[in-house]
Amino acid sequence: MLERYFIRPTTVDRIRACWIGDAIERYVTWLAEQGYAPRNVAFRVPVLVRFGEFAKTSGAINCNELSGYIEPFVEHWLKERRHGNDCESARRIVARGVRNPIQQMLHLIIPDYQNKGRSHDLVDPFIGSAPGFFEFLRRDRGLREPTIVQYQHYLRRTECYFRKSGIESLGDVSLAAITALITESGKSLDKRSVQSLCSILKVFFRYLHRAGLMAHDLSKQIESPRRYRLADLPRSISWDEVRRMLQAADRRTPVGKRDYTILLLLVTYGLRAREVAALTLDDIDWKRDRLHVRGRKADHSAIYPLAPIVGEAVLDYLQHGRPKIPERALFCRAFAPHTALSRVAVSLRAKHYIRKAGIEVARPGSHTLRHTCVQRLLEARLSLKTIGDFMGHRSPDATAIYAKVNIEALREVALGEGEEIL
């Protein structure tokens, strides 16, 4: 099997001469069976050879001991290729690319191997300088894991910014550095996200002061930006722009067929990215022409009529684009491993085609198409209650923001011909 991917006989001989050569060749066979692209195999095998050499030099004598050498090897790899000064997110991406093939191989060759790489992949930010912070959040504040993840996200961003700014320890952090962080974040985050960042920074620096890790309590001087309810306009696009976006998907390819179907679902039904990602083959009722959407907010579900254009796109994707795999998720990766698409991937696909079509809109993504669906329903003069039920809104307030962008109604008011609207 190695000869299929490596042309030079000397390369094949070197791989087989490695003390874990049999395991590597077995892993390559598995990759071929799973449909991995040759370029993926060509990257993974040299990593495994280097890992085997590193583990043997470090004292490993059999495969059952290899799991203990994964993290030291990852750190060695990062240092050897001078990733030490990269931001935390960049280091995590490189580390994940090195760690994943090793863990996959160990799953294949070691019975009952337990993958513990996930905890290493998501090391808590500031773990060295504030080791008790996340335990404080869980034990003393009683925060749930989804909230903890949000803290981790924003504090990783903070840690990365401090590192790039040359701040070596938390004792060197000043109010000016925090202000610069918030200002810089405001260039890429919306106001709500900046508010979340500020709230988390307040909790973090208050903890540092109370735990005796900082002499001054900087939390009292952090100010969040004001954000007024209904102050922002929804980020919808016009129906002509929707057509341009749909035309940007190359439906001659499996990826284009899949993405075209995803875009149609987002803009036709106003689904959230996670609702599209959660769709399964069983959610399409072909006999009754219905689409069953499960797992909405507050554990609600909804049933929609299957629009002909959506049904045709789904059928085309299933027959000519979707990999022939036992996975029940409707949308899967086009390349191995053929796992279900995540909600993040769905949103990024929408963002990709909006930009590819040259459409200018703030923060493009799946929610852009959700807003567009609502705008379309408003233009059809449906009531906010009807629209809210269709979109799965939990309260009328969630729908009220769209009343501001009913352009035709506002035009009638401006011309003095729509007093009945008021």
Torsion angles phi and psi, residue 322, rounded to 5? -80, 135
Q: Is 370 a catalytic residue?
A: yes
Answer yes or no: do 340 and 382 share one domain: yes
Selecting among 272, 322, 333, 349, the annotated active-site residue is 272
What pLDDT, on a 0 to 100 scale, did the predictor assign at position 229?
Answer: 56
What pLDDT, on a 0 to 100 scale, did the predictor assign at position 119?
Answer: 41
How far is 334 from 322, CA to CA, in rounded Å?
A: 7
Structural domain that includes position 150: 133-221
What pLDDT, on a 0 to 100 scale, did the predictor assign at position 356?
Answer: 95
Answer yes or no: do 209 and 80 share one domain: no
Q: By C-alpha distance, which of 397, 366, 371, 368 is closest to 384?
A: 397
**pLDDT tens digit string along 276-318?**
999 999 999 999 999 999 867 656 788 999 999 999 999 999 9
Answer yes or no: do 291 and 399 share one domain: yes
- For residue 177, the domain's CATH number is 1.10.150
Q: Is residue 298 part of a domain?
A: yes
Selecting among 297, 317, 351, 371, the annotated active-site residue is 297
- Count of domains observed in the chain: 3
302-305 and 284-285 strand pairing:
unpaired
Per the model's pLDDT, the better-predicted residue between 381 and 226 turns out to be 381
The percent of residues in the chain predicted with pLDDT above 90, rounded, is: 46
Cα torsion 244, 250, 255, 258: sign: positive
Answer yes or no: do 111 and 137 share one domain: no
Task: Return the minimum-mean-pLDDT range out of 57-61, 91-95, 176-180, 355-359.
Answer: 91-95
Cα torsion 6, 11, 17, 23: sign: negative
**pLDDT tens digit string along 333-383?**
988 888 899 888 999 999 999 999 999 988 899 989 998 988 888 888 887
Q: Is 367 a catalytic residue?
A: yes
**pLDDT tens digit string along 139-148?**
988 888 878 9
Cα 247 to chain centroid, rounded: 25
Q: Is the pLDDT of residue 84 over 80?
A: no
How far is 112 from 211, CA to CA, in rounded Å?
A: 41
Answer yes or no: do 400 and 293 share one domain: yes
Q: Is 83 a catalytic residue?
A: no
The full length of the chain comes to: 422
What pLDDT, on a 0 to 100 scale, did the predictor assign at position 204?
Answer: 94
Answer yes or no: do 399 and 284 share one domain: yes
Q: By C-alpha distance, which of 328, 326, 330, 280 is closest to 301?
A: 280
Answer yes or no: do 164 and 251 share one domain: no
Contact 51, 95 (CB under 8 A): no
What pLDDT, on a 0 to 100 scale, did the predictor assign at position 422?
Answer: 41
Selecting among 44, 157, 370, 371, the annotated active-site residue is 370
Among the three residues 90, 121, 152, which one is the final residue of a domain in this structure? 121
What pLDDT, on a 0 to 100 scale, did the predictor assign at position 121?
Answer: 47
Selecting among 157, 202, 333, 393, the annotated active-site residue is 393
Answer yes or no: do 112 and 29 share one domain: yes
Please count the helices (runs of H) and the strands (runs of E) in the chain. 19, 3
Q: Is 272 a catalytic residue?
A: yes
What pLDDT, on a 0 to 100 scale, did the predictor assign at position 418?
Answer: 46
Answer yes or no: do 373 and 254 share one domain: yes
Contact 329, 340 (CB under 8 A): yes
284-285 and 290-293 strand pairing:
antiparallel
What pLDDT, on a 0 to 100 scale, did the predictor assign at position 233?
Answer: 56
Contact 171, 214 (CB under 8 A): yes
What pLDDT, on a 0 to 100 scale, did the predictor assign at position 355?
Answer: 94
Q: Which two tokens stand for residue 204?
A: 């973090």
**pLDDT tens digit string along 152-206?**
989 998 998 998 889 888 888 999 999 999 999 888 887 888 899 999 999 999 9
Answer yes or no: do 313 and 410 share one domain: yes
What pLDDT, on a 0 to 100 scale, did the predictor assign at position 339?
Answer: 87
Contact 264, 309 (CB under 8 A): yes
Q: Is residue 92 part of a domain?
A: yes
pLDDT averaged over the chain? Answer: 85
Selecting among 156, 349, 367, 376, the annotated active-site residue is 367
Q: By C-alpha distance, which of 392, 367, 79, 105 is closest to 236?
A: 367
How far is 224 from 193, CA to CA, in rounded Å?
A: 10
**pLDDT tens digit string along 99-155?**
999 999 999 888 777 664 444 445 688 988 898 999 999 998 888 887 898 999 899
- For residue 344, the domain's CATH number is 1.10.443.10
Q: How much is the average pLDDT of 404-409?
A: 53
> Is this prediction's pTM over 0.85?
no
Q: Which two tokens stand for residue 129?
A: 């300088």
Q: Is the pLDDT of residue 322 over 60?
A: yes
Q: Is 297 a catalytic residue?
A: yes
Q: Which span out of 33-42, 76-85, 165-174, 265-274 was modeled with the highest average pLDDT?
A: 265-274
Q: By C-alpha distance, which of 249, 257, 256, 373 is closest to 312?
A: 257
Q: Is 376 a catalytic residue?
A: no
* CA–CA distances in Å: residue 142 to residues 146, 196, 271: 12, 18, 32
Q: Which residues on adjacent β-strands are paired with residue 302?
A: 293
Answer yes or no: do 143 and 117 share one domain: no
Q: Which span out of 34-38, 219-223, 333-337 was modeled with the highest average pLDDT?
A: 219-223
What pLDDT, on a 0 to 100 scale, did the predictor assign at position 408?
Answer: 53
Q: Is the pLDDT of residue 230 over 60?
A: no
